[in-house]
Amino acid sequence: MTTARDIMHRGAQWIPAHETLDRAAQLMRELNVGALPISDENERLCGIITDRDIVVGCVAMGHDPSRVTAGDMAKGTPCWIDANADVGDVLQEMEEHQIRRLPVIDDKRLVGMISEADLAENLTEDQLAEWVERVYARSATR
């Protein structure tokens, strides 16, 4: 059985909810990633912020990214997957919630992230094509 741990990108890092969006953008640049999980004061997942969130939800709205926190941008209940979950469960979670990045949690700790690139590296062509069709076809109708 292939698990989330098998396909995830290791070395994911939190951005604390109290950190500003300019710091989040700097960390994304340093890590060469487009999304960061947001942690609360107990290092529990409370959201995810993307580079697009920063641009569209802050900068394009005329807000100052040095005054808006990652926590301000965290909306709703974040999705995540247990490190020992089967890859089928990973695909289902990403499809069901129309997300392209998924934090991987083990014993309440962030241990990695799964992105579309990770799926492309680890799935068969048929699995990937089926997932892309379901995720992007549903996205286009929304």
pLDDT tens string 121-140? 998 888 888 888 888 775 55
Q: What is the pLDDT of residue 70?
A: 96
Q: List, in order of start, the domains of the chain with CATH numbers.
A: 4-140 (3.10.580.10)
Among 15-19, 21-25, 61-65, 129-133, which is the least confidently predicted range?
129-133
* Contact indicator for 45, 80 with CB cutoff of 8 Å: yes
Q: pLDDT, tens digit, for every residue of 32-80?
A: 999 999 999 888 899 999 999 999 999 999 999 999 999 999 877 889 9
User: Do residues 38 and 45 make contact, with C-beta atoms less than 8 angstroms apart?
Assistant: yes
Model's pTM, two decimal places?
A: 0.86
Residue positions counted in the chain:
142
Mean pLDDT of the chain: 90
Higher-confidence residue: 12 or 8? 8
User: Crossing angle of helices 87-96/125-140, nearest 10°?
Assistant: 20
One-letter amino acid of 93 = E
